[in-house]
């Protein structure tokens, strides 16, 4: 009796790629191991991707869409600037134990200028979004830029320090409240 052929979608490959990349970077993207994990043949990979490099590009683009554009879209509801700031900060500081995608992207960007461009675009977009929220609160553009720049770089260090911890909702709420009271003055 023949085993049924397992069909794996491009999205499944990309999702597994994101998960593996955030756990160890491009070195974790071993096609044979991924195929075994997905329960399919290695040829399934080449149905969707012409090369490992094109796969990495797709992983980074999907990650960019999921982590940056989705946060911005989620916060653009009919809410005040203060409410939107709290929502963005809660999402930023409430997500730990997810791996180090940004760290490994930064590492990859040292070897490939195309990834440096993507990294810079993502970080710029994130800081500009917070800057616009602060301007909506009435802050002067230059001051809003400084605050958003400082906040983003604070977040990078904070995440590095807390990435292995499981944080409770109350702890996250207190942290966001402290940021708002001390830096943003909501």
- Domain residue extents for the chain: 60-184
CA end-to-end span of the chain: 67
- Give the integer Cα–Cα distance in Å for 31 and 125: 32
Sign for the CA dihedral angle at 128, 134, 139, 145 comes to: negative
pLDDT digits (tens, 9 = 90+) for 99-127: 788 889 999 999 999 999 999 999 999 89
How do residues 60-97 score in pLDDT, each as one tens digit?
999 988 887 776 776 666 788 888 888 888 888 877 65
pTM score above 0.85: no
């Amino acid at each position: 009796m023949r085993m049924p052929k397992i069909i794996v979608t491009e999205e499944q490959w990309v999702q597994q790629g994101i998960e593996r990349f955030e756990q160890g970077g491009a070195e974790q993207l071993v096609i044979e191991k991924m195929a075994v994990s997905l329960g399919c043949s290695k040829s399934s990979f080449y149905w969707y991707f012409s090369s490992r490099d094109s796969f990495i590009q797709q992983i980074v683009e999907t990650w960019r869409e999921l982590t940056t554009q989705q946060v911005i879209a989620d916060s653009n509801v009919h809410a005040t600037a203060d409410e939107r700031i709290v929502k963005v900060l809660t999402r930023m500081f409430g997500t730990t134990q997810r791996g180090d995608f940004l760290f490994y992207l930064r590492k990859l960007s040292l070897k490939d200028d195309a990834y440096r461009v993507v990294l810079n675009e993502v970080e710029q977009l994130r800081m500009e979004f917070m800057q616009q929220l602060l301007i909506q609160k009435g802050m002067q553009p230059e001051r809003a830029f400084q605050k958003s720049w400082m906040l983003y770089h604070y977040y990078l260090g904070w995440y590095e320090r807390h990435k292995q911890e499981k944080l409770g909702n109350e702890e996250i709420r207190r942290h966001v409240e402290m940021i708002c009271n001390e830096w943003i003055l909501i």
